[in-house]
Structure 1
Amino acid sequence: MDFATVAKLRKYLSVKHHIPGRIRILFDKSIMTDPEALKLVKTAPKTLPEAVKKTKLNIFAKTLVIEYDSKRVPPKLLEELINAPSDKAASAIVEKLYSLLY
């Protein structure tokens, strides 16, 4: 799970529920018909073990739960990333998130 992949897939994602440290993301089933999205989903993403503790995919409910360290990843930024209105805004948020981690 890495933030750059989330940024690229964000048009298929929406926040279903979020508390600091745990976010449930609903994904649109059309993600399965987009060749670029499928390529991103099928490649092994870079993991951020110091920030992301656990991920759980429920394909039937079309949700992804991400448990993360809310002291290292500001919850507001994570939600802003998913809701970013443009690629430029998403890229800026990804850069900010990575700068906080490294």
Structure 2
Amino acid sequence: MDFTTVAKLRKYLSVKHHLPGRIRIAFDKSIITDPEALALVKSPPKMPDAVKKTSLNIFSKSIVIEYDANRIPPQMLEDLINAPSDEVASGIVEKLYALLYES
């Protein structure tokens, strides 16, 4: 899963718990009925190297992302998940990738 995938799936996601460097994201079970969402999850692009680890827990319906809070501003991750529109989400993804790859 990469940030573009997170942006596309955000309607199924909510921040459950967040400390700088570690975010737990809950996902709605209706994600399994969306063919586009399933396709994104089955063949996800790789996260940038500022993301140290991701883990999926099907039973708690959550994803944990551990990341370098010095390279990824914590508030940007929450803003991405809570973005009110595709345009806002796309802008946040662009800013994240600019921070990570244009430095």
Q: Work out whether the TM-score is over 0.5.
A: yes
Equivalent residues, number: 101
Q: Distance in 1 between matches of 2:78 and 2:61?
A: 18
Q: Distance in 2 between matches of 1:89 and 1:44?
A: 22
Amino acid at match of 1:29: K
Q: Distance in 2 between matches of 1:25 and 1:12?
A: 10
* Counterpart in the other structure of 2:14: 14
Q: Distance in 2 between matches of 1:47 and 1:85?
A: 23
Q: Could you list the runs of 5+ residues in structure 2 that have no partner in the other structure?
A: none
Q: Percent identity?
A: 76
* Counterpart in the other structure of 1:53: 52
* Counterpart in the other structure of 1:71: 70
Q: Deviations over 1:13-66 (max 9, x none)?
A: 0000000000000000000000000000001322212x1000111000000000
Amino acid at match of 2:26: L
Offset at residue 85 of structure 1 (A): 0.2
Q: Distance in 1 between matches of 2:95 and 2:10?
A: 17
Q: Distance in 2 between matches of 1:11 and 1:44?
A: 17
Q: Deviations over 1:49-102 (max 9, x none)?
A: 2x1000111000000000000000000001000000000000000000000001
**SS of 1:48's equivalent?**
coil
Q: Could you list the runs of 5+ residues in structure 1 that have no partner in the other structure?
A: none
TM-score normalised by structure 1 residue count? 0.96
